[in-house]
Amino acid sequence: MSQELLFAVEEVASVAREGFITNFMWLVPLLPFLSFFVILFFGKKLPGKGHSIGLFAVAAAFVISLIGFIDLASGAETVEKSFTWFQFGDGGESLKLELGMNYDFLAALMFVVVTFISLLVQIYSTSYMHDDSRYTWFYAVLSLFTCSMLFLVIANNLIQMIVGWEGVGVCSYFLIGHFWEEKPNSSAAMKAFLTTRVGDTGFMFGIFALFFAGRTFNITELNHAAETASISEGWLTAGALLLFCGAVGKSAQFPLHVWLPDAMAGPTPVSALIHAATMVVAGIYLVARMFIVFEHAGIALDVVAIVASITMLIAAVLALVQDDIKKVLAYSTVSQLGYMMAALGVGAYTAGIFHLFTHAMFKALLFLGSGSLIHAVHSNNMSDMGGLRKYMPHTFKTFIIGSLALAGIFPLAGFWSKDEILGGALRAGLDGGRFVGWVVFITGMIVAFLTAFYMTRACVKTFWGEYRGHGQPHESDGAMVTPLWVLAILSCTVGFLGIPVIGVFADWIFVPGEEHYGFSTFYNLVLPAVSVGLALSAIWLGWQMYAKDRFKVDILSSPFAWVYRFVENKYYLDDIYLRGVVKPIQYPIARASNWFNQKVIDGIVNGAAAGSVKQGRWVYKYLDQKGIDGVINGSAGLTGSTGGLLRYIQSGNVQRYAAVLFVSIAVFVALFAIV
């Protein structure tokens, strides 16, 4: 009897569990969507000037996301459901576009990350943005951003994805330009939007290529078609590389990474949420979502790995020379995004997503920590900081934890994920015989060293030495410090999810239908020892150079001064884009077009008549000039009040028009007669 009861309870529970994802997950993007409108229209009159609605919506979304994730982890089926957004032809035979959800572990993980970081950032912002004149609007856009990002993640097809994709883009535009009174900020916002849009154009064409090759926008079906080779390798390659253009723009990969450092013009909480933890990983997410397509797409993954390697290296070098603490973190983000992308490039799928996950924690922590610093000293520049460990103990401790996690020091989160990537690269090189495996491995090792070095430099400049700024810095309040500690604890712990062999992460995130390696089958102790050794030596070197003032080289008077200048000028990429592309189009080419329009095309319109009159005068003579004039004058006469018009018409210009008109018609009639 009791056994039966237990059985019945279990059955009820399983029914509820089965239903949960289907019945409730769509609420997750919907809640912030609704909260956007509520805040926008009623926010100023609501408690907390709108932030309470935003917080409530995202908190609820987080709880649902978490339950959904636990549900999956305890064995619930993944869900793909959709309805038709619109379709062409009978039953959508020509084109069928769905609006749907594809809720698997990857989406579930992203849901948790996005809603969680968004929640923390919104809590943090209640204090950080407190005095902002557009506080309500700020919360509205945060809601819209969260909604768009979740919409992108849940998408079961590529068109739906690009809708969310552009949605996060425009929110990013609004938030980067939040302080739009100053022109550099609005310019940075424009730069971000336009640079990513260049990539998005490729993304769109990639979607088209795959659509016509596979006759579907659906992600699962496209991956399946790639697996079963029902799309030829050539089209897969074209499609994948074009999709990758979008990822290059959004995830700030070389050569479109230039917008992300400028995006730091936005409020710091925004940098933490959008430009570190969530939106910028959309490109990684895209490649991961379409991973089977990429795998079967010839050289596509090699291209991904090479581009990512270039990205992580050049960005890490740039992080070395920044004074603005947010710029250090921005270049660090670019570099780490390169890490994730490189992981996918070498086939270390699980490792790449794992790094996305851990990076979201410690990079959000670092950005929020930098916000706390900036809040205290009213400057972004490390040259205005120094000695802050005495004034801001919580910020100091959490920032150091974040830095160590980023540097990949055992046993913090970054250590586990970074080593998995290096391991995956090595495996691709050794076992897979892929050249790019070696490229990623070696670059990754160098970048591991550089990362530890630039973070040491930043920490020393910020927290040690004497305070160089103005006024008396003070520790931030609880609304800001609490998220820091939450993230700091997570930066210490989330790595354990992915401990080789015993960690559960690899059971969640893996390429469906493939043997999942990286965590359980490939590992040894030498690799982590070497990478941690590199990181520790970088920390030691950084400490010596910046805290103890040793090993200083005056690079500017050395023969390598040009290298420094080259780096300092960001490899001149901005100059090439701005002076080579943007300005020429914006001014000379645009003006030439306008000149051509006014003088040539319109000139022909206005002038052809005059020419025709001369050449066609003999034709004209035979037409009843007075008749035509009479008609036109008559119609103009109707205006009555505008005598000027009449005078104008009599001035002869119209007669020229009329001449052209009739000459042309005569030609046309003649043609008809001939045919």
Partner 1 sequence: MDWLNDWGLSIATFLPAIGAVALLLIPSAKEKLMNTAALVITGVTLLVGILLCFEFDYGNAGALQFELNKEWIPQIGANYHIGVDGMAFPLFVLSLLVSFLCIIYMRWHVPEPGKPKAFLALVLLLETGMTGTFIALDLMLFFIFWEIVLVPMYFMIGIWGGPNRQYASVKFFLYTLFGSIFMLLGFLALRLNTGTFDIVQMVDGGVSGSSMFKNLVFAGLALGFAIKVPMWPFHTWLPDAHTEAPTVGSVLLAAIMLKMGTYGFVRIAYPILPDAARDFAPVIGILAVIAIIYGALCCLAQTDLKRLIAFSSVGHMGFVMLGLATLNDKGINGAIFGMVAHGLITGMLFFLAGSIHERYHTREISELGGMLAQIPRFGSLFTYAAIASLGLPGLAGFWGEMLSLLGSYEPGAGLSPALFRVLMVGGGIGTVLTAGYLLWTIQRVNLGKVPANFEGKPIFDVQPLEWIAWTPLLVLILVAGLFPKLILHVTDGAVQGLVGVLGG
**Which positions touch partner 1 (CB under 8 A)?**
84-90, 94-95, 159, 162-163, 165-167, 170, 173, 177, 180-183, 186-187, 189-190, 193-194, 197-198, 201, 204-205, 208-209, 211-212, 585-586, 589-591, 593-594, 597, 601-602, 605, 635, 638-639, 641-642, 644-645, 648-649, 653-654, 657-658, 660-661, 664-665, 668-669, 671-672, 675
Residue 380 Cβ, how far from partner 1 at the closest point, in Å? Answer: 21
Q: Using CA atoms, how far apart are residues 530 and 395, in angstroms rounded to an integer?
A: 30
Nearest residue (CB) to partner 1, 229 versus 589: 589
C-alpha closest to that of 269 among 122, 426, 67, 477: 122
Nearest residue (CB) to partner 1, 434 versus 656: 656
Helix, strand, coil percentages in the chain from 3-state DSSP, rounded to 5: 75, 5, 20
Nearest residue (CB) to partner 1, 255 versus 432: 255
Nearest residue (CB) to partner 1, 140 versus 288: 140
Backbone angles phi, psi at 80, to 5 degrees: -125, 120
Contact 115, 25 (CB under 8 A): no
Residue 158 Cβ, how far from partner 1 at the closest point, in Å? Answer: 11
Nearest residue (CB) to partner 1, 230 versus 597: 597
DSSP secondary structure, 384-405, as one string: G---HHHH-HHHHHHHHHHHHH
Residue 189 Cβ, how far from partner 1 at the closest point, in Å? Answer: 8
Q: Kind and range of the H or E element at 574?
A: helix 573-577
Residue 210 Cβ, how far from partner 1 at the closest point, in Å? Answer: 11
Nearest residue (CB) to partner 1, 27 versus 479: 27
Helices (H) and strands (E) in the chain, counts: 32, 2
3-state SS assignment for residue 97: strand
Q: State which amino acid sits at residue 424.
A: G
Residue 29 Cβ, how far from partner 1 at the closest point, in Å? Answer: 12
Nearest residue (CB) to partner 1, 346 versus 613: 613
Contact 178, 152 (CB under 8 A): no
Residue 178 Cβ, how far from partner 1 at the closest point, in Å? Answer: 11
Q: State which amino acid sits at residue 568.
A: E
C-alpha closest to that of 459 among 325, 348, 590: 325
Nearest residue (CB) to partner 1, 36 versus 116: 36
Nearest residue (CB) to partner 1, 506 versus 660: 660
Backbone angles phi, psi at 255, to 5 degrees: -100, 15
C-alpha closest to that of 421 among 525, 527, 533, 496: 527
Residue 643 Cβ, how far from partner 1 at the closest point, in Å? Answer: 10
Q: Using CA atoms, how far apart are residues 127 and 138, in angstroms rounded to an integer?
A: 13
Residue 628 Cβ, how far from partner 1 at the closest point, in Å? Answer: 11
Nearest residue (CB) to partner 1, 71 versus 98: 98
C-alpha closest to that of 477 among 127, 231, 108: 127
C-alpha closest to that of 152 among 75, 264, 249, 250: 250
Q: State which amino acid sits at residue 107.
A: A
Backbone angles phi, psi at 216, to 5 degrees: -160, 155
C-alpha closest to that of 285 among 123, 433, 422, 113: 113
Nearest residue (CB) to partner 1, 506 versus 654: 654
Contact 206, 249 (CB under 8 A): no
Residue 518 Cβ, how far from partner 1 at the closest point, in Å? Answer: 35
Residue 432 Cβ, how far from partner 1 at the closest point, in Å? Answer: 34
3-state SS assignment for residue 99: strand
Q: Using CA atoms, how far apart are residues 349 and 419, in angstroms rounded to an integer?
A: 13
Q: State which amino acid sits at residue 537.
A: S
Residue 183 Cβ, how far from partner 1 at the closest point, in Å? Answer: 6
Nearest residue (CB) to partner 1, 89 versus 559: 89
Nearest residue (CB) to partner 1, 433 versus 627: 627
Reading the block at residue 163, the tokens are 């809708």
Q: Using CA atoms, how far apart are residues 359 and 337, in angstroms rounded to an integer?
A: 9
Residue 661 Cβ, how far from partner 1 at the closest point, in Å? Answer: 5
Q: Using CA atoms, how far apart are residues 354 and 444, in angstroms rounded to an integer?
A: 16
Give the relative orientation of helices 233-250 and 183-214 as an angle to the nearest 10 degrees: 160
Q: Using CA atoms, how far apart are residues 50 and 165, in angstroms rounded to an integer?
A: 25
Neighbours of 503 (CB within 10 A): 18
Nearest residue (CB) to partner 1, 90 versus 466: 90
3-state secondary structure 161-185: HHHHHHHHHHHHHHHHCCCCCCHHH
Residue 345 Cβ, how far from partner 1 at the closest point, in Å? Answer: 26
Residue 125 Cβ, how far from partner 1 at the closest point, in Å? Answer: 21
Handedness of CA 39, 43, 46, 51 (dihedral sign): positive
Nearest residue (CB) to partner 1, 540 versus 668: 668
CA 273 from centre of chain: 11
Nearest residue (CB) to partner 1, 196 versus 336: 196
Residue 624 Cβ, how far from partner 1 at the closest point, in Å? Answer: 16
Residue 286 Cβ, how far from partner 1 at the closest point, in Å? Answer: 15
3-state SS assignment for residue 226: helix
Neighbours of 479 (CB within 10 A): 14
3-state SS assignment for residue 480: helix
